[in-house]
A and B are shown apart, each in its own frame.
Chain A
């Protein structure tokens, strides 16, 4: 790994520009995996993906394979997917249910919390005292969950999950309370897609309300309106006011929070409620009364980034996981979020809409990843080493370090790079 000094890293980020190396340099990517994905809380999965004891779900934290499992005691664990013996990845399916994990290589077994269970032919280790933990698969330093959303942190230092989430934890509260049963589950499958570009391009795109009319014009019909993306809406986003005049999306304010988190909002109410939607509202009213229900239905924040690797939207509620593979290669996984207790038909509509917007065949994200791929290529040019993130709008600083500004401001991205610098330049804890 290149020995970049903090001064060098700091020189790559200017107040309104970033150097192309942050997208193009493989050594910086390795540093990011170590210092951002190795120090920040990173979204792993949702507890509902492992409902029963013995259930497991494999994913990565940065490039490191981990397993989220539900142990026989009912608790969820996050452990490294690695045999303590010779380093072999133990669990080789994305999800399933086991009594114990067994390493294929020499048959060592582990409990569903990653603790060492059994060493085969252990008489061959007369001088070694096996320890359940030390010779286990290895627990990650910390993992915590909020409303079932499990985050892991590979570093023992730094803030706890709730402190790190900050205002984003209120958003998870909002999502949970919008389910008639008060909780959500992740049981609607997953859209998986790939692009040949840096992981940060996707994160930045999620807070970019400047691009839709240009990138996604082809998804709009004659009048400049996108197809309907929600049951009950006649049409979707209006891109153009009149011929050739792009409608500004500044109204969707951008909010920049500490730790690189950002959000935009809000979401207008459904135009014509379907019968199922009315049934859903009735369920909420039964539980919370009409006033609180009205509050719940106002989607103040509808698009929320949990920097660095997760984002959620309340339009067809879903989780987006950003999974870096290499400096120029990124996977995106989209998980529908099911509001428990809501009419089944609502979830079905949600799935259908997510097929249209977020599948590998979608009418929308495909043009985003086209932009990421072309950016990755365009930045190879040496004519201009800087990427411009200078767009602003009226801006105010609010309590607890929050900045509020306009939807097309690039403040959200500048906020990402403030967090990026903090993670990348902080002294190593040892």
Chain B
């Protein structure tokens, strides 16, 4: 192995590190928007035909096989979040506070390299004053694409919480 080659390897390993770091930074930003209740900005991260899906069964093959906790396209997200802004959204008075954390991120390019598949583990704490704090957690799967200026957009986000088939009290903020 020549010196040159080794530095090439280092370069590509370094590039890979930067790439994963870039993806992570995007995910942190994305869930931060939810915790900051910037729901409209969160919606804008999705591509026009993007969707957010939280299955109701642990091995649910797709959103057409059965009901889901969440299965929102962008128009539905806008309706959902307009409601959360309504002055008389009774089940969110007072509103829930959330804290999302992400770890175990893996990312790989696919197709021409503009498409990125991401897997991660997450936790979301959810507290609505007057109610017990809840902890949700599980696995995220994203398909990201590069939009204007090379910035990531979300083509799809799937959130499988490990107790998706439990009997739940109301959930207002996406996992």
A binds B: yes
Pick the contact of A194: B88, B168, B174 (CB < 8 A): B168
| Residue interface mask A344-355, B partner, CB < 8 A = 1 | 100010011011
Measured between alpha carbons, how far is A191 from B68 in the docked complex, in Å? 8
| Shortest distance from the beta carbon of A57 to any chain B beta carbon, whole Å | 14
**Complex: how many Å from CA A16 to CA B133?**
39
User: How many residues on the B side are at the interface (Cβ–Cβ under 8 A)?
Assistant: 32
The interface bits of chain A over 152-195 (1 if a CB of B lies within 8 angstroms of the residue's CB, else 0) are 00000000000000000000000000000000000111111111
Closest-by-CB residue of B relative to A323 is B167
Which of A221, A348, A354 is close to B64, meaning CB atoms less than 8 Å apart? A348
Which of chain A's residues have a CB closer than 8 A to the CB of B166?
192
Report chain B residues within 8 Å CB of A369. 91, 169-170
Q: Which residue of A lies closest to B166 (CB)?
A: A192
Nearest-CB residue, chain B, relative to A221: B82
Q: Of residues 338 to 378 in A, which have CB atoms within 8 Å of B's CB atoms?
A: 344, 348, 351-352, 354-356, 358-361, 363, 366-367, 369-371
* Minimum distance in angstroms from B78 CB to a CB of chain A: 10
Query: How many A residues touch B, CB cutoff 8 Å?
Result: 36
B-contact bits for A194-225, CB 8 A (1 contact / 0 none) = 11100000000000000000010111010000
Interface residues of B, dominant DSSP = loop
A117 within 8 A of B: no
Bound together, the chains give a CA A415 to CA B125 distance in angstroms of 43
B74 interface residue per 8 A CB criterion:
no
Q: Which residues of the partner chain A approach B64 to less than 8 Å between Cβ atoms?
A: 344, 348, 351
Whole-angstrom distance between the alpha carbons of A239 and B113 in the complex? Answer: 49
Q: B76 within 8 Å of A by Cβ? A: yes
Instruction: Tell yes or no: B142 within 8 A of A by CB.
Output: no
Is A144 an interface residue when CB atoms closer than 8 A count as contact?
no
Residues of B within 8 A of A360 (CB): 69, 168-171
Is A21 part of the binding interface, using a Cβ–Cβ cutoff of 8 Å?
no
Contact at A355–B86, with CB atoms within 8 Å? no
Nearest A residue to B57 via CB reads A189
On whether A366 and B170 interact (CB within 8 A), knowing A215-B90, A221-B82, A355-B71, the answer reads yes
Instruction: State A291–B92 Cα separation when bound (angstroms).
Output: 48
A356 to B71, CA, bound (A): 8
A193 to B164, CA, bound (A): 11
Is A227's CB within 8 Å of the partner chain B?
yes
B66 to chain A: closest residue by CB = A189
What's the Cα separation between A187 and B66 when bound, in Å?
Answer: 7
Find out whether the CB atom of B66 lies under 8 angstroms from the CB atom of A370.
Answer: no
A328 to B49, CA, bound (A): 42
Task: Report yes or no: B172 in contact with A361, Cβ–Cβ below 8 A.
Answer: yes
A336 interface hit (Cβ, 8 Å): yes
In whole angstroms, what is the CA distance A196 to B167 when docked?
A: 12
User: Is the CB–CB distance between B67 and A351 below 8 Å?
Assistant: yes
Do A331 and B167 touch across chains, with their CB atoms under 8 A apart?
yes
What's the least CB distance linking B153 to chain A, in Å? 23
Is B70 positioned at the interface, with any CB of A under 8 Å from its CB?
yes
Distance in angstroms between the alpha carbons of A399 and B60 in the assembled complex: 48
Other 4 A-B pairs with CB < 8 A, given A355-B68, A361-B69? A189-B66, A190-B66, A344-B64, A358-B67
Which 8 pairs from chain A and chain B are nearest by CB? A189-B66, A218-B86, A360-B168, A370-B91, A218-B89, A366-B170, A192-B167, A366-B91
